[in-house]
Amino acid sequence: MPDRVVTRTLTSTLDNHSQVSDDLDSHGFAASKLWNVGRWTVSRVWDAIGYIPDAEELCSYLKTHDRYADLHSQSSQRVLQELGQAFESWYEQGDPDANPPGYRKHGDDHPRSTVTWKNQGFKIDTQYNRVRLSKGANMKSSRYAADYILCEYTLQTDDRTLSDVESVQTVRAVWTGHQWELHFVCRMRIETPDTPGEKTAGVDLGICNTAAVSVGEETLLYPGNALKEDAHYFRHQEYDTEGDNGPSDHAEWARRKKARRQHHFLHALSTDIVQQCADRGVGTIAVGHPQNIREETDWGRHGNKRLHDWAFETLLSHIEYKAVERGIDVERVDEAGLKTSQTCCQCDTRADSNRVERGLYVCEECGLVANSDLNAAENMRAAVTPSQQGRTTTPLPDRSNGCLAQPSVRLFEKSTGQVAPREQVVP
């Protein structure tokens, strides 16, 4: 079996939690304070000149601020990078009703924010399952005190140790609401099985239908109803409880709950997509990569909201690493360059008018009737399938009103947290 290097996050509990919790609390609070300093700085610049400084500019400007020295320099950089990314996402929505990133405070109290240590800020002892996390300069109680937090950990996995990995990229201290845990982001080498087969599948990622999959003679559709319902519900829970001093406890709860549910949905969906492909003997998955979708298209007020919640890059990366573990290659397809949405997968005719309405594709040339997302998925499949390149020499069977129009629908079932055929999902 061939080996491949992949990125994984390994979660661990802290065996000496009582000894290190105060230090981790101090750093978690410090991360919140630095976030707030950065948030205030962005607001001041925005009010003065109508400009939002990016993460690099924030780091440069605040490098000499006293709060910057509360954390290791790389940890402080990460806090401001996350703030910059949050403002970028907010701005790209183009939604006047959406609130910008808020301050991290509950009245006068600061929550425990996640703290990230990069390679210069930690040292791991795999023999004794210990990791040294560098303290910020301001966190050293005296010149004689330790300049690090010594954490003893136990990984929440039975088949991996940190000595097995190629390298540890970052260590993150994450407050769960009850205790601290450590997340190790690692590069590791894994054995991958032989490919399940030689077929190719095309996958189109979208907003209404989270994914559409074509294996040629079979098609699968994954509606995003569950994701959209959660986004709508928790957005109201979040924004309606926003306080004058920043997010309320309920708003913070809503954000965490929404993030956890989205995280689980994307994992369940990607797992099912890869499993269905493996079951059908797929050795290559072609996934559309809408690289500039946020920058190039105005989807309207409500469309931009959905787009903001559509974590296509996360879903794509999940599909990639899970496919690798099953011996399946993944190729990213430039769907904009290939115009997969406008091109007929049956006869290769390209016309914007063929998309007669949302979800329906009708080719004026050959009469193909298809779900528009599945038509795009089939075009992606054909783009990386040698036997399908040049369709004039290898004609496809007529599938009008067949699998391209009437796919198998697989739904996320909230009661089980899994994806199943529509007919098996309990309303």
For residue range 78-93, list pLDDT tens digits in order: 999 999 988 887 776 6
8 Å CB contact between 330 and 324: yes
Say if residue 250's pLDDT is above 50: yes
Say if residue 286's pLDDT is above 50: yes
Determine whether 325 is exposed, middle or buried from the number of CB atoms within 10 Å of its CB (0-12, 13-18, 19+).
Answer: middle
Is beta strand 329-333 parallel, antiparallel or unpaired with respect to 282-288? parallel
Average pLDDT of the chain is 80
pLDDT at residue 403, rounded to an integer: 75
pLDDT at residue 297, rounded to an integer: 44
For residue range 343-365, list pLDDT tens digits in order: 888 788 887 776 666 678 888 77
Is beta strand 130-134 parallel, antiparallel or unpaired with respect to 122-125? antiparallel
For residue range 92-115, list pLDDT tens digits in order: 666 666 778 888 876 667 788 999
Q: Which of 8, 23, 36 is nearest to 72 (CA)?
A: 23
In the chain, % of residues over pLDDT 90? 32
Q: What is the mean pLDDT of residues 377-388?
A: 79
In the chain, % of residues over pLDDT 70? 77
8 Å CB contact between 166 and 119: no
Q: What is the mean pLDDT of residues 124-149?
A: 88
Q: Which of 184, 172, 227, 186 is nearest to 205 (CA)?
A: 227
CA distance linking residue 31 with residue 273, whole number of Å: 38
pLDDT at residue 93, rounded to an integer: 64
Q: Specify the residue for token string 């020295």.
A: 69
For residue range 229-247, list pLDDT tens digits in order: 766 666 655 555 555 555 5
Determine whether 8 is exposed, middle or buried from the number of CB atoms within 10 Å of its CB (0-12, 13-18, 19+).
Answer: middle
264 is written with which tokens? Answer: 């689980």
Say if residue 71's pLDDT is above 90: yes
Give the CA-trace dihedral at 334, 340, 342, 348, to 10 degrees. Answer: 120
Q: Specify the residue for token string 């440069």.
A: 60
Say if residue 421's pLDDT is above 70: yes
Domains of the chain: which residue ranges? 3-191, 199-424
Element (DSSP H or E) covering residue 26? helix 17-49
pLDDT at residue 62, rounded to an integer: 95
Give, in words, the CATH class of 199-424: alpha beta
Q: What is the mean pLDDT of residues 243-265?
A: 66
The better pLDDT of the pair 384, 233 is held by: 384
pLDDT at residue 352, rounded to an integer: 72
pLDDT at residue 188, rounded to an integer: 82
Strands of 43-196, DSSP E: 115-117, 122-125, 130-134, 148-155, 167-175, 180-191
Least confident stretch, 119-123, 138-142, 251-255: 251-255
Say if residue 309's pLDDT is above 60: no
54 is written with which tokens? Answer: 């990016």
For residue range 138-174, list pLDDT tens digits in order: 988 767 678 999 999 998 876 678 888 888 999 999 9
For residue range 175-233, list pLDDT tens digits in order: 987 889 999 998 888 777 778 888 999 999 887 888 999 998 889 999 887 766 766 66
Cβ-Cβ contacts under 8 Å for 158 (sequence gap 6 or more) = none
pLDDT at residue 391, rounded to an integer: 45
8 Å CB contact between 62 and 41: yes
User: Tell me, what DSSP letter sits at residue 422?
Assistant: G
For 337, list phi and psi in degrees, rounded to 5.
Answer: -65, -40
pLDDT at residue 302, rounded to an integer: 47
8 Å CB contact between 70 and 34: yes
Say if residue 319's pLDDT is above 80: yes
